[in-house]
Amino acid sequence: MIVAIPREIAPDERRVAIVPQAVKALEGAGLEVVVESGAGESAGFSDEDYRQAGARIESDPVALLGSADLVLKVQAPMAVDGGHEVDRLRSGAVLVGFLKPLDLPDVARRLAERGVTAFSMELMPRITRAQSMDALSAMSTIAGYRAVLLAAATLPKIFPMLVTAAGTISPARVLVIGAGVAGLQAIATARRLGAVVEAYDTRPAVKEQVESLGAKFVELDLEIGDAEDKGGYARAQSEEFYQKQREQLGKRVANSDVVVTTALVPGQRAPILIDEAAVKAMKSGSVIVDLAAEQGGNCECTTPGTSVVHGVTIIGATNLPSDIPANASQMYAKNLTTFVSHLVKEGKLELDLEDEITSGAMLTHEGKITNEAARSRVEGEGS
Ligand code: NAD
């Protein structure tokens, strides 16, 4: 079986699906690894690095995809040279990547029509057995770290407290809203830089984790009910709840130099937790990094990219893992190789459709969209 690693063509995508270090693991599963020339360049890996690791280099992307039994990508396939990357895949081939199953119904439809068996890393079940294949968590770790570095570089202040002959500098105040994987990494990074950090999450289980990182857990007077689903994700709350949350968080937002928001509810628009009035109440020069920007943003004023609203810099972050492409690719490659070892036995694809990981991550198979939520999106588009 040939496994192909194409160069990512999405604008500003610097990651690569497989790093040279991970080539051996694929070979160990009995696969022949072919990498598109230049695929690892923006992540710091040369063709020579891949060659030395045992991969073959192919310079023609059409030939690469046309010969592959298995294709490992970062981003979903997209339009290219008047056609579409999906049309370069062989019918019956397997594709694995971040396929945005709920956001890109057209890609899911194309993959099914093409007869590709596609696995979307966003659909990976969050069970202990699949932890090393959980690419969303891996990328959130990088994003949380990067969010704080961006904020620190943008804020007109430093993070730590300094007592110097030139006077005392008070530490920056950082508020993290949503203390999941990205939020906890943001807290840890801000603490390492010396900021005073507080955090809030609707899942009460998080309190202990926040405190263990040296941050204060913000208690709000809200009726949360059953905050967590069986997958460990937050449940959606009512609009009335979010209204109260905005009111109660407003004062803390106003007192913060930096706010990092990461609050997401799977399959839904991100809840608005900071309205324009709260932005207006912040000190000029303050920074908001909105990691929920791709899902609509946790701040009412967020737009993709960087904007300044009422003197506050709002960074609508859409792909922070791509800013740290070496480690993001290294972690993603580990997730992928573990998943591939799960699907391939002695060089042969063995799809066990009864298996929770295989069926859970599957998006399309044998001409059909197998994931129910993605299928409803496609049917919704068509009606
Ligand atoms: P996520 O990216 O979907 O959401 C980020 C955070 O936002 C979550 O902590 C969520 O509770 C929070 N949030 C949602 N609405 C909010 C609101 N109104 N106000 C404040 N916060 C809000 O989730 P994630 O970070 O990817 O994962 C969440 C948790 O799932 C993890 O912390 C972990 O406990 C669990 N998890 C388990 C596994 C596993 O293998 N068992 C794998 C990954 C994650």
Nearest-CA residue for ligand 1 atom 1 is: 264
Residue/partner pairs of 354-358 with CB below 8 Å, 24 or more apart: 356/125, 356/127, 356/129, 356/130, 357/124, 357/125, 357/127, 357/129, 357/130, 357/133
The mean pLDDT of 100-124, rounded to a whole number, is: 96
First to last CA, the chain: 39
Between CA 73 and CA 53 the distance in angstroms is: 19
Residue 172 has pLDDT above 70, yes or no: yes
Q: What is the band of 228 on the pLDDT scale with cuts at 50, 70, 90?
A: confident
| pLDDT over 90 at 143, yes or no | yes
- How confident is the model at residue 231, as a pLDDT? 73
In which band, very low, low, confident or very high, does the pLDDT at 234 lie, cut at 50, 70 and 90? confident
Number of Cα atoms under 13 Å in the Cβ half of residue 258: 31
Q: Return the CA Rg of the chain.
A: 22
Segment 5-30 mean pLDDT: 97
- Cα–Cα distance between 81 and 380 in angstroms, integer? 29
What residue ranges line ligand 1, CB within 6 angstroms? Answer: 126-128, 131, 134, 136-137, 140, 177-183, 200-203, 232-234, 237, 245, 262-266, 271, 273
Ligand 1, atom 11: nearest CA belongs to which residue? 234
Among protein residues, the one with the nearest Cα to ligand 1's atom 33 is: 232
Q: In the chain, pLDDT over 70 holds for what percent of residues?
A: 99
Model confidence at 162, pLDDT cuts 50, 70, 90, reads very high
pLDDT of residue 383: 60
Cα–Cα distance, 274 to 268 (Å, whole number): 17
For 354-365, what is the mean pLDDT?
98
Q: Are 96 and 30 in contact (CB under 8 A)?
A: no
3-state secondary structure of 129: helix
Q: What is the mean pLDDT of residues 338-357?
A: 95
Give every CB contact of residue 355 below 8 A, 6+ residues apart in sequence: 342
| Residue 122 binned pLDDT confidence (cut-offs 50, 70, 90) | very high
Q: How far apart are CA 298 and CA 269, in angstroms?
A: 9
Model pLDDT for residues 193-224, shown as the tens digit of each residue: 999 999 999 998 899 999 999 999 999 999 88
Distance in Å, CA 158 to ligand 1 centroid: 29
- Asked if residues 261 and 178 have their Cβ atoms less than 8 Å apart, the reply is yes
Closest among 38, 33, 100, 24 to 69, alpha carbons compared: 33
Kindly report the pTM of this predicted structure: 0.95
Give the span between the Cα atoms of 368 and 148, in whole angstroms. Answer: 42
pLDDT tens-digit profile of 240-285?
A: 999 999 999 999 999 999 999 999 988 789 999 999 999 999 999 9
- The band of 381, judged by pLDDT with boundaries at 50, 70 and 90, is confident
Tell me how far apart the 2 most distant CA atoms of the chain are, in Å. 71
Element containing residue 217 per DSSP (H, E): strand 216-217
Q: Check pLDDT > 80 for residue 358.
A: yes
| Helix spans in 228-367 (H) | 239-254, 276-281, 325-343, 356-361
Taking residues 300-324, report their average pLDDT. Answer: 96
Residues assigned a catalytic role: 126, 131, 134, 137, 233
Share the mean pLDDT of the chain. 96
Check residue 175 and give its pLDDT.
Answer: 98
**Ligand 1, residues 220, 264, 294: which to mutate, most atoms within 8 A of Cβ?**
264
Identify the band that residue 380 occupies on the pLDDT scale cut at 50, 70 and 90.
Answer: confident
Torsions phi, psi of 122, nearest 5? -70, -20
Take atom 30 of ligand 1 and give the residue whose Cα is closest.
Answer: 232
